[in-house]
Structures are given as C-alpha cells and as structure tokens.
Amino acid sequence: MASPSYTLDLRRSAIGTVQLPGSKSLSNRALLLAALATGQTQIRGLLDSDDTAVMIESLRRLGARLDQQSLESTSSAVGPEVIWVVEGTGGCFPSVGSQTEPIDCFIGNSGLTIRTLLPAIVAAQAGTGSVTVLRGVDRMHERPIKDLVDGLRQLGAQIDYLGQEGYPPLRVTGVALKPKSEIVVKGNTSSQFLTGLLQAAPQLSRQWHQPVVVRVEGELISRPYVDLSIGMLRQFGVAIQESAPNCFVVQPCDLVSPGALFVEGDASSASYFLAAGLLGGGPIRVQGAGRTSLQGDVQFAHALAQMGAQITWGDDYIESRAAGFDASGLPIVQAVDLDCNHIPDAAMTLVAVALYAKTPTRLRNIGSWRVKETDRIAAMAAEARKLGATVEEGPDFIVVTPPAQLRTASLRTYDDHRVAMSFALTSFVHAGDMDGDMGGEGVNAPGGETVIPSVETRGHSPEPRSGALTPSAESLQGRAVTIEDPACVNKTFPTYFEEFAAVCAQAVPVIAIDGPTASGKGTVAGRVAKALGYAYLDSGALYRLVALQSLEQSVAVDDAKSLSAMALDMQLRFEGEQVWLNGRDVSQAIRAEAVGNRASQIATQPMLRQALLRRQRDFARLPGLVADGRDMGSVVFPKAGLKFFLTASAEIRAERRVLQLQARGESADLGAITADLQARDARDAARPVAPLKFVPNQGVHYLDTSDLTIDQAVAQILAWSSAQT
C-alpha cells in the first residue's frame, strides 16, 4: 500500500553535515561473503533498509546465523550503534541438504541480492538434490537474469524459470556441477551478474581444486561496482587477479572472515545531499565516504563540480557548495553532456540538478536505468515533464531541457527510492520562482509564514556561505512539490526525508524554547518571533492536531501506525492564532483540556514522534524560526543557535491556566488543574523518547518565569538573542 504523500514547499538554503547510512552495495556484499566464509564476522555500519533485510532473511532461510548486538557506549547521534554478528558457514549453508521442503527465499526488489545469492546457492547445493526458490515482488519478476542463468548453466546448473523465461522467480535444484576452466558471462545489462559469479568463485574453486576464470564477453557496464566486489573479496582473503581486461582469475582458496568489517557510508545516498549543497548554496558535508572510498559513486562529485559545485574532499567526507551565484542570488548551475556509465545510480540525481541550468543537459550511456527498480529513464522523463521540463529520451540517454519556471506538481515515484530522493531536490528555489505567481495548486507553506530576504545563519558548522543575494519576500510563495509514496525510500535510506528537512532547517537560525505545559512558552515564543520577524512553530499544536483527530476517529492512543499515518497525512495551515486542519478551523478545538491530555499520551509513541519530525523541521524558513515544545533543542533542531528551557512552578502554571480558561468563559478548578499539570509533567519527563528535561551545561538557557511578566520574559530572551549575534 502506498504511503501518504509528502509535500515539500519551497526552500532556499541547505547547510550542515549528514551522517550517511551504510552503503547498500557494501552491506549486501559483506553479509553474503561473511555467511559464506569460515569464522565469525562482526560488521559495523551495516545499512538498515529493505534491501539489506531481504538479504539477511534469505541467508537465515539458508541456515546462516546472523544476530544484532547493540553497543552500549556510542558516539553516534542517531541512537545506539548496532553490530551485526555473522557466523560463517564455510560455504555449506546448513539448510541445504537438511530440508525436504524447498528453501523459499523472498528477495523483494533487490537486484543485488538475487544476483549474488543465485550463484552462491548453485555452488552450495551442488550434488545435494536440495531445492531453493528465489522470488520477489512483481517488478523483480520483470528484471532480467538470463545472462547470469546462462553463465551458470555452462556448469550444468539446473535453474528453472517459474514464470517468464529469462526472469525470476527461479527454482534451483542441486545437481552435480561440471568443473569448467572458464565461465563466460555477459556484462552489458548489469555488472551484478559478474559480481555474483566472482563472489561464488572461491566456493567453486575449492570444490574443483583448480582456479576459476570468469570472463566477460563483450561490454561491461558499471565497472566501479566490480572493483568494489574485488576489494571486498580481497578483504576475505581471496586471491583474485584480472589476467586480461574483464577476465578474472580466482585461485583455489577459502573465504576467511576478516573478523571485523566496517561498512562505509553510501556514496549513492550522498549524491542527494551533495546536490543540495549546490542548489541550496551549502556547504553540506557528507560524512562516511570520501577520497579513500571504495565506492565508484563518489565520482558523482566530479560530475556535480562540472555543474557548478565547489567540492572539497576529505578521507571520509565530501563537502559541496555552490561555486557562484547569479545576480538574484541563486546558485549558478551549468548544463553538462556526460557519459554516466560509471555512476549509473548517482547520475539520476543529475536530472533534478539539470532543471536548474539554463540549457539542456544530456546524460549518456545509461541504458541500465531501463531495467532497474523501474524503467528509470521513462520515470525520470515523465516526472520531469510534469515539472515543466522538455525531455527527450532514447534507449540509453536522456536530454533534459529546463523550463523557465518549475511547476507545482505531484510526482509519482514508481516504488523507486532514487526517483523519490532525486525529485525532493526540486523543492529548492528556481529562477522561475523569482518571477511571481507560479499558478500552482495553492499548497500552503507549513507555517503559512512569509519568506523574507536574509542569508544570515548562525550557531552551526560548517560556516555558511556569504555574498549571495536573496529573492524578495512574496515572490517565493506558491510552488510546492509533492512526492507520492515517499516511504519507497526505505529501500536504502529510511530517514532520507528527515535528513533532507534537517539540512534545509540548519540553514535557518532557530531559537528553540522548550518547557512544561502552561509555562508561558507559547505566548513568549510567539512574541519573540514577532519581534524578530521570524516564523513561529507551536509544536504542541501538531501533537494536539493528531490528538483531536484520534478522538474524533476513535483511534486508540497506542495505535502508533494509525496515529503516524494521520500525522503524515494532515493538511495544515497556521495563521497567527488560527489553525486549519484539512480545511477546517480547529483553533478552539485543539485547545480543549481533553485534547491536551490526549496529546500528552500519544506523544509517548516513538513512531508518531518520528512522523512529526520532518513536518516540524519544514517550518524552518529564513530569516528564522522560533520553535516551542518539549524537544525542540534536543531532537528536532539540535543545531539551534539559541536554546531555552522555560518553566514556572506547578502552582503558578495552574493559576495561569485557570485565568486562561476563565477568559474563554470555561469553568476551572484550581486543584484539579494543578494535579492534571503535574501528571502531564511526569508523563512528558518520564517517556523514554525525547523526554522533557533540562540538562544543565549544554548551552541551554534556563528561565523560570514564576516571578516574571510575559514582557519581562520576552525581553530576557531577546537580550540573550542579541548578545549572541
């Protein structure tokens, strides 16, 4: 089922550091080789995603043991570090030969998983009579595998197509294999066929007591991925040489666990943030892949440099920023004509960047896009056209002619993570956005706030750029890009949109004001925002909005899934004190005590908090944001330049609440309200996720307003604020 759409309104800038998730390519290679090796392998930095999950599950079905361990002490900001412990099988999967039923491996839509597992299973099952079935989602059954099957049939392997000839699902029967001095495979559809054979070659060479030669017949695409496989095989002690171009010799040997393995950050995932560094001015640093990376996709940075990015390389990071700005302050983006054979995945990102150039961009030698998660050439062309571009597509190329203005559009993502991640980039301001009304569908900015010129940033590293001008206030409103089924990013980067919202938010000065209920923080925060001309986020209102809907629709407080879906789905509009939910004015309704109470209960659900994370970050807009809540400084805007903890005694807060209720003409009982506040405080402070607490000495200013008027509290915060700038 498709996930709720995500609408990204216009954003101006992006800055900051992104810790990359583990490389998918390295993760899945490491898992399989560790399972085939002798000895135990501890893998750190493994990607947690749909594609790794299907590899892990398949290996378990084959009888391998893979367990997760959490590291107690960790420097990671994203939670406890996880180590995967894989017990090597020495190439003999325990389920093979010990199971009468066929072994059933579901490989989702992971091309790498099926194409590397298949040869390993053929080798492990040789002569056992065991049967394994490999199947996936419908799209997997349209992705070619014939070249690999043909390669394995040279050895006498028995592989049957259970559906369409040349495509999964497959049934592998463990017949005896015929040793061959050379296995020939085609490499012009996918380099993964060669990778699969190379990874199984040590098993075969050991069984046959002779070297195994794997030779590519004809063209080999995506060569850097083959180098990645060779590098990983060598880490497992395999002697492998390229005796002639595209001809590889593997000596008889055991795969031996290296003991510990560290998976570097995903270079393909880096491409979106490097591109954001260009389109949003930057600098953005991607941490986890750099100059010493094994992954070919780091070469994307060179392509981006040709399009206008200034790139800085570190051993394990890459940083990108716009090299120049035009007269209206927008980054200058150059069109390119590029052979992208060496960076097939990351090159999709260039389609989005090309929309910001002035002239057509041609990406060549990308025929493999046609047989990936979807027909990527057709998909990128169709969606870029919705944005107003003129696109020419050929069997193995795409030419993108940027429009004068990008249109508001709702974009299909074809269950393809890279389509979704690439098009998120089109939410950056485009030259056409400077020319007034976009005539779009009128999607509201999350806060309904006005974007006012400024390039000021503070309180975070790397240092912001200087010298860029900014577009005028009103001209930036109106355009938005909607990403349909955004959860498709789970394939490789489950937290992509949260990270994307975070770097966009980090380009904006944020004042975070946290504190208990009725501490006066809402009133104070609103007044501070007004005084500074900043936007204002009342994050409690978001929890109250979900609470209100859950009451109206009788959704249980612990039904995290339904609550999160509501949070992602709700259409919001804030204007001053007024709040609209799906077009209905709920300003009064969300302030009811029952709603506040329920908000406090549902706020304990981690899944709901995660769903609201990017929605909150999306409120950050230049020239700045004042955000109030419980975890603004600790979780939502950890890089906020100024953080406050605002509180008052429970008695004073209860008195204030009584006055508020009486002003609204509602009856109020001081004793009951005090007890209620104390219960809510306890719940907010005790919950395991993002608890409300003041941590001294973490740059958070503490302000007790028990004896202060609102004016005094506002004046105090403004004084701290101006002292900092």
φ, ψ for residue 256, nearest 5 deg: -120, 130
Contacts of 552 by beta carbon, 8 Å cutoff, 6+ apart: none
Q: Is 493 strand, coil or helix?
A: coil
- Give the active site residue among 9, 51, 254, 345: 345
CB of 455 to ligand DC, least distance (A): 28
Of residues 412 and 591, the one with the C-beta less far from ligand DC: 591
Contacts of 26 by beta carbon, 8 Å cutoff, 6+ apart: 228, 232, 263, 264, 294, 295
Contacts of 511 by beta carbon, 8 Å cutoff, 6+ apart: 525, 528, 532, 534, 624, 625, 626, 627, 640, 641, 642, 643, 644, 717, 721
Of residues 51 and 618, the one with the C-beta less far from ligand DC: 618
For residue 176, which of 252, 104, 123 has the smallest C-alpha distance?
123
Footprint of ligand DC on 630-649 (CB under 6 A): 630-631
Of residues 679 and 719, the one with the C-beta less far from ligand DC: 679
Q: Where do runs of H (alpha helix) occur along 106-221?
A: 111-125, 146-153, 192-208
Q: What DSSP state is assigned to residue 492?
A: T
Footprint of ligand DC on 65-84 (CB under 6 A): none
> Which residue's entry shows tokens 């109020």?
668
Footprint of ligand DC on 665-704 (CB under 6 A): 680, 684
CB of 677 to ligand DC, least distance (A): 10
Of residues 526 and 596, the one with the C-beta less far from ligand DC: 596
Footprint of ligand DC on 581-620 (CB under 6 A): 596, 599-600, 603
Strand partners, 38: 256
236 touches 258 (CB < 8 A) = yes
CB of 89 to ligand DC, least distance (A): 46
What's the chain's Rg over C-alpha atoms? Answer: 28
345 is known as an active-site residue:
yes
Of residues 533 and 606, the one with the C-beta less far from ligand DC: 606
Annotate each residue in 465-504 with x if it binds ligand DC (CB under 6 A) or - if it does not, as one string.
----------------------------------------
- Residue range at the interface with ligand DC (CB under 6 A); choices 97-105, 161-169, 392-400, 538-546: 538-546
CB of 606 to ligand DC, least distance (A): 11
CB of 514 to ligand DC, least distance (A): 7
Token couple for 85: 């412990």
Token couple for 353: 């960047």
Of residues 418 and 630, the one with the C-beta less far from ligand DC: 630
- Residue range at the interface with ligand DC (CB under 6 A); choices 206-214, 407-415, 427-435, 628-636: 628-636
Q: Where do runs of H (alpha helix) occur along 137-265?
A: 146-153, 192-208, 223-235
- Residue range at the interface with ligand DC (CB under 6 A); choices 84-92, 277-285, 539-547, 714-722: 539-547
Footprint of ligand DC on 540-579 (CB under 6 A): 540, 543-544
CB of 544 to ligand DC, least distance (A): 5
Of residues 453 and 691, the one with the C-beta less far from ligand DC: 691
Q: Number of residues in contact with ligand DC, rule: CB under 6 A?
A: 14
Exposure string of 403-423, with b = 16+ CB inside 10 Å and e = fewer, is bebbbbbebbbbbbbbbbbbb
For residue 238, which of 255, 223, 220 has the smallest C-alpha distance?
255
62 touches 105 (CB < 8 A) = yes
Strand partners, 105: 134
- Residue range at the interface with ligand DC (CB under 6 A); choices 267-275, 326-334, 341-349, 626-634: 626-634
Choose which of 88, 296, 629, 633 interacts with ligand DC (CB under 6 A). Answer: 629
For residue 414, which of 483, 481, 501 has the smallest C-alpha distance?
483
Verify binding: residue 517, ligand DC, rule CB under 6 A: yes
277 touches 321 (CB < 8 A) = yes
- Residue range at the interface with ligand DC (CB under 6 A); choices 384-392, 536-544, 659-667, 710-718: 536-544
Of residues 246 and 587, the one with the C-beta less far from ligand DC: 587
CB of 466 to ligand DC, least distance (A): 33
DSSP codes of every residue in 407-420: PPEEE--TT-HHHH
Token couple for 663: 């002003």
CB of 195 to ligand DC, least distance (A): 46
- Residue range at the interface with ligand DC (CB under 6 A); choices 36-44, 78-86, 123-131, 537-545: 537-545
Catalog residues that contact ligand DC under the rule CB under 6 A: 517, 539-540, 543-544, 596, 599-600, 603, 629-631, 680, 684
Residues with a known catalytic role: 345
